[in-house]
């Protein structure tokens, strides 16, 4: 992925950090680019912003005079028996009418009602833009989570394949010993059962690997067959468990959904103000100018000119409580927006605290499991050496091998859980935090 694309993303999307760069994984960067360009949720969010922008322009246009052109051509027949029709008309009772002109009307925003409504549309448009940014954070976080889970699954697959090879070699040796009478049939059967168990687990891991690729395909809006290159094993990305020593207290203020709720409060306030101004009289200036005649050539004569202008006043007298009900409804929308803002802050704070606590506890758990794995590997190595020299039977060796595998998988699962918590923290902070340049991908 080119650096210019990353720089463009920084400027255009108003995201203060790109957390996926800390992992220094170009495959993940490539997937992020695909999701940015093609993810359906992101495309829908972008269209919602564009729709809101045009809705604001529609409302803003009410501040300006509205000018229309109108023209008419008609022919009518009058009754010659009509006593008000001149005698001349009796011989030619068809009347022609030609007209063209301009009609204009200007709604005077004397009380600022249209300006309030226009500002409300502006705040709603900005709020939708932040909602789009939050959608982007969620999509990128989900994509990073699925990708890293895929890499952890491939690590588990690698461990299983290695163990299956070791078990098969030991099984062959046991078979020779069994045929020579140095090993009982029970140990030989135990080796075959263990091989079958590992192969069944390998099948489940390969199935999970495929499902994760389908999940990534959904997030990037790609055909799963075009992402089969992800099946190629790859080492885990770097810097998966890096967190700052502390977080600034103002970091949550940058979270897009909190900024969105703030703007929705402003939009609700402006809509409430516009609703209250419906109680005041409105003023408009109509203007008409054109020409009309019963003969087409006469349209070019100044005598055919007509015009009119004035000022209109419209004051509400009785609307069955509609205006007051509208004011109360907008007031309730404002109160609802305030409550949603408070709830969003509360939820964001809780999410951050929960993930920080889980991250800390999982790190402590990982330290203990790493020590246990070290001891278990030494134990298995001793059993294997004794088995190779004929001092130990296969059953104890297989038991030590299975426990070693279980501890390895437990360590892998904890590492995966820590990585998921780091990504969840990025999501909880609405995109992450500033990362030192030394931790970023070149």
Distance of CA 314 to the CA centre of its chain: 45
Which helix (DSSP H) or strand (DSSP E) does residue 283 occupy?
A: strand 282-293
Q: DSSP letter string over 70-84?
A: EEEEEEEE--TT-TT
Report the number of secondary-structure helices (H) and strands (E) in the chain. 9, 5
Q: At what angle do helices 113-180 and 256-276 cross, to 10 degrees?
A: 150
SS3 206: helix
Cα–Cα nearest to 50, from 157, 145, 125:
125
Q: What is the mean pLDDT of each run of 10 residues along the chain (442 residues)?
A: 37 53 86 93 95 95 93 79 55 78 93 94 95 93 92 88 78 69 66 79 90 94 91 78 70 87 96 95 94 86 90 92 95 96 93 89 88 85 75 70 83 89 88 54 38
Distance (Å, whole) CA 44 – CA 67? 35
pLDDT at 406: 83
pLDDT at 314: 92
pLDDT at 393: 63
Domain boundaries, the chain: 3-38+111-280+322-439
Distance of CA 386 to the CA centre of its chain: 57
User: For residues 16 and 434, is the Cβ–Cβ distance under 8 A?
Assistant: yes
pTM for this prediction: 0.81
Distance (Å, whole) CA 217 – CA 142? 12
pLDDT at 265: 97
Q: Kindly report each contact of residues 210-218 with a partner whose C-beta sits within 8 Å and lies 24 or more positions away, as own/partner.
A: 212/146, 212/149, 212/150, 212/153, 213/150, 215/146, 216/31, 216/143, 216/146, 216/147, 216/150
300, HSE (Cβ side, Cα atoms, 13 Å): 2
Distance of CA 243 to the CA centre of its chain: 24
User: Considering Cα of 359, then 365, then 368, then 373, what sign does the dihedral take?
Assistant: negative
User: For residues 103 and 70, is the Cβ–Cβ distance under 8 A?
Assistant: yes
pLDDT at 22: 79
Distance (Å, whole) CA 146 – CA 154? 12
Phi, psi of 345, deg, nearest 5? -65, -45
Classify domain 3-38+111-280+322-439 at the CATH topology level.
Answer: Outer membrane efflux proteins (OEP) (1.20.1600)
């Amino acid at each position: 992925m080119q650096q210019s694309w990353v720089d463009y993303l920084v400027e255009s999307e108003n995201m203060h950090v790109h957390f996926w760069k800390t992992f220094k994984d170009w495959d993940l960067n490539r997937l992020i680019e695909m999701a940015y360009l093609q993810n359906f949720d992101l495309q829908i969010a972008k269209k919602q912003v564009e729709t809101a922008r045009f809705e604001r322009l529609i409302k803003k246009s009410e501040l300006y005079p509205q000018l229309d052109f109108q023209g008419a051509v008609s022919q009518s027949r009058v009754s010659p028996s009509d006593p008000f029709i001149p005698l001349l008309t009796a011989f030619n009772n068809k009347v022609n009418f030609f007209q063209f002109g301009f009609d204009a009307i200007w709604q005077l925003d004397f009380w600022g009602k249209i300006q309030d409504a226009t500002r409300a549309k502006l705040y709603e448009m900005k709020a939708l833009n932040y909602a789009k940014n939050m959608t982007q954070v969620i999509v990128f976080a989900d994509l990073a989570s699925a990708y890293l889970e895929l890499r952890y699954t491939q690590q588990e697959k690698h461990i299983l394949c290695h163990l299956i090879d070791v078990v098969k070699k030991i099984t062959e040796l046991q078979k020779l010993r069994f045929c020579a009478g140095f090993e009982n049939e029970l140990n030989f059967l135990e080796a075959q059962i263990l091989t079958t168990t590992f192969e069944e687990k390998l099948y489940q891991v390969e199935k999970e690997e495929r499902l994760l690729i389908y999940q990534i395909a959904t997030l990037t809006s790609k055909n799963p067959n075009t992402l089969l290159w992800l099946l190629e094993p790859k080492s885990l990305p770097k810097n998966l468990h890096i967190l700052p020593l502390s977080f600034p207290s103002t970091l949550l203020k940058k979270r897009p959904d909190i900024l969105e709720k703030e703007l929705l409060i402003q939009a609700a306030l402006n809509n409430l103000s516009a609703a209250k101004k419906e109680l005041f009289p409105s003023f408009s200036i109509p203007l008409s100018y054109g020409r009309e005649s019963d003969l087409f050539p006469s349209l070019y004569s100044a005598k055919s000119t007509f015009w009119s202008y004035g000022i209109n006043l419209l004051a509400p007298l009785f609307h069955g409580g509609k205006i007051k009900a509208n004011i109360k409804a907008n007031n309730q929308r404002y109160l609802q927006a305030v409550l949603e803002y408070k709830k969003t802050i509360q939820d964001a704070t809780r999410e951050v605290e929960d993930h920080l606590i889980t991250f800390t506890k999982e790190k402590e758990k990982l330290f203990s499991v790493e020590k246990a794995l070290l001891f278990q590997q030494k134990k298995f190595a001793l059993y294997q050496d004794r088995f190779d020299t004929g001092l130990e039977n296969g059953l104890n060796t297989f038991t030590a091998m299975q426990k070693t595998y279980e501890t390895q998988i437990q360590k892998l699962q904890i590492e995966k859980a820590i990585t998921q918590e780091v990504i969840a923290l990025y999501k909880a902070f609405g995109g992450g935090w500033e990362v030192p340049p030394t931790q970023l991908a070149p």
